[in-house]
Structure 1
């Protein structure tokens, strides 16, 4: 509790007046092209008029005189709705020291780091994220919402929910002495072993201020445990989490690599499957039946597979999992797309480097997902996963989350790495250098 309060104190110490200047009476964005995330088509020149943090009008062509509006010339750029990354961890970033840092650093240190990670993410074009695990994220969310820090809009899960010895058990890897000092973690710490525990854990997340629930339905790649794919929840436990989450208006995301645990999570009613490495035809059929979303996180898979080749980067209990499972995810994404599973965008950044999130688009296209569908996955489809209808499209009445880049991302998906204009809620955070 002391460390958690220190982390909150750090974020409050960083409080300063709102970074983005107060928006003028209006802003007129003169876009050379506009990506329509509903149709997945690239439209010609449009003028997007923004007032009071929302899109007021979307006018075909270049509207030269917009009353009470400051013009921004993006006529040589493609505009679109700001992207959403549905799977990040802003409180951390992988390095060869990650496992030892948990013993040496305090939450305060990770809180300071999260500030830079959040800004990098926003400036890369991601105006919203779903942070799926970490005690810092609810406080980082609040600081950003209060205008104290630059960063994306955050849906925060807080501490993920696991089972004893599971992917999210915070006592994994501790020696007997440390384990004795810490004591067996329970629902408050996000570790459950019964239906009653499951209900209590969700209610604790509500008390902690979470926006979404994450469960670790199978083993994980980077946790200090042997299995990366064993099922770790019963269907009844998943249902207890999902049903209790509904009481608070929460949706449930399920980390899952193994086939059986994945099937149980889908059967239990989760909103999305994250990673999905060993996704089978049986699982895909059930996902299509129940409308479950798939968030592949190809970026994380490729990152861990590459780092597994480096001696000492991961503990030896982790290294074979990273090499085996990480390399599978891109192929699984390709298979899921071919089979008609609904796909939304997520990277698991925090495993890989923050600010590099857009590289996921490249990997999705490599997997055979059309560029337009990849962009829809990070805009209108991501909004569907979150359960909101006020973002993900550039339309009158929606949030003025708008980004722009040189070039045509449908013709060359590599252009997503060149975002140089970012607006969130009508405030401009990045403009092209002319």
Structure 2
């Protein structure tokens, strides 16, 4: 076993395998151990810039990166000792953001997690490796809506290992028979003496019932370092005990979670399918609806009025396959509802976010860029790119002081913003399909001022 891999394994054992109570003392206090070199600089020359906000390009400009931030944007810029990259008229744009990316579920096979045949070390190693692959597709930031990605985040932020930024939600939480309940029927009725299941102990999921219990669990998740809280309030495909028509958690339980999150100056996102579950979630104070495929027009209008975000996924039938016949049946219903929810949400003017929710299959994660391009069925290329950059960044800002990346804004090319940048061979404002092939079309990938890919050398 080589030294570097041994260091990684030791770090993951330390951060993911020890009991929750012990790790919680340091969970939200970790600081990067190797901050960006403030003296390093990169100068992009002759770029056409999509800034993440404007529907037209800034033509033939230079962008100076100093340390991990964008220092200056203009024409004819110079900088002593800077690494110069001649963009040659290509498009420089912000790094992409995925607000529904399960860092520790995406690259882990279903047999490991769903069938309880693996352990947290296998999950962690697969996830750490996968984080680099995600970055190399141009996704420089993700909001993780469920799972234990805290150690992965720490190692990436420290600069020790390549990967995307992470805003972690910690374990997603549901009621008994909800979307986070993966126990077998042999474990029901549950015996309080038995304590937490293996995946609960390792902060991958949590089953919690009743107002006092959901309050306590929410506080534990926040203590661990979550930047927002994820609960499930109605229906699921991968889960076996919650049909798509059910609503989960009482109004009082959801309100209790929201209150605890707001006490920490952050917010709650909810996995929910049913119209009833969406409305109950909104009434309780949830700010981001994940999936929401069966939302009625009246509910979408309510979401627009209250400024609630909607994060569906543009799934097609071949994006997932399910061994369980009930999950396969539910999947077909979800896919059939995709066009309707996007069409109606766009017409009504709901705030749309982009997240992929690709799960349990490393090969499937390669569709991440293709799913973004699919939004072109309902939006213009500019609208798609804005959603995946400055739009998603706006959603992430709801984490308030819990947001871990506060030196500058994300998702934009602006002086003082984070230097998360992609140099694209072509103009994605005209040819959105360019985004679907990052291997060939993303010539430079920079995150936090560091170049991870440069084929122009």
TM-score (norm 1): 0.87
How many Å apart are 1:194 and its aligned residue?
2.2
How many Å apart are 1:228 and its aligned residue?
2.3
SS in 1 for 2:331: helix
Deviations 1:59-79 (A, max 9, x none): 14xx26333322112224211
| Aligned equivalent of 2:376, options 346, 352, 365 | 365
Deviations 1:25-72 (A, max 9, x none): 321012531112222322212211011211110114xx2633332211
How many Å apart are 1:216 and its aligned residue?
0.7
What pairs with 1:322-333 in structure 2 (closer than 5 Å)? Answer: 322-333=331-342
Residues 103 and 203 of structure 1: CA distance in aligned 2, closer, same or farther (over 3 Å): same
| Aligned equivalent of 1:197, options 213, 225, 244 | 213
Instruction: Answer yes or no: is 1:240 the counterpart of 2:269.
Output: no
What pairs with 1:276-425 in structure 2 (closer than 5 Å)? Answer: 276-298=292-314, 301-302=315-316, 305-306=317-318, 313-350=322-359, 353-366=364-377, 368-387=378-397, 390-417=409-436, 418-425=441-448
2:41 and 2:140 map into 1 onto residues whose CA distance is 20
Q: Is the 8 A contact 1:162 1:168 kept in 2?
A: yes
1:37 and 1:141 map into 2 onto residues whose CA distance is 25
Structure 2: segments with no counterpart, 5+ residues: 1-8, 18-31, 398-402
2:245 and 2:112 map into 1 onto residues whose CA distance is 21
| RMSD between aligned residues | 3.0
When structure 1 is superposed on structure 2, of 400-409 and 30-39 the one drifting more is 30-39
Counterpart of 2:455 in structure 1 is 432
What pairs with 1:251-270 in structure 2 (closer than 5 Å)? Answer: 251-270=267-286
Instruction: Answer yes or no: is 1:103 the counterpart of 2:113.
Output: no
Q: Is the 8 A contact 2:108 2:123 kept in 1?
A: no
Counterpart of 2:12 in structure 1 is 8
2:330 and 2:293 map into 1 onto residues whose CA distance is 11
2:70 and 2:297 map into 1 onto residues whose CA distance is 42
TM-score (norm 2): 0.83
Residues 430 and 220 of structure 1: CA distance in aligned 2, closer, same or farther (over 3 Å): same
SS in 1 for 2:71: strand
How many Å apart are 1:196 and its aligned residue?
2.1
| Aligned equivalent of 2:128, options 73, 91, 115 | 115
When structure 1 is superposed on structure 2, of 200-209 and 67-76 the one drifting more is 67-76
SS in 2 for 1:211: coil
Instruction: Answer yes or no: is 1:78 the counterpart of 2:78.
Output: no
How many Å apart are 1:168 and its aligned residue?
1.1
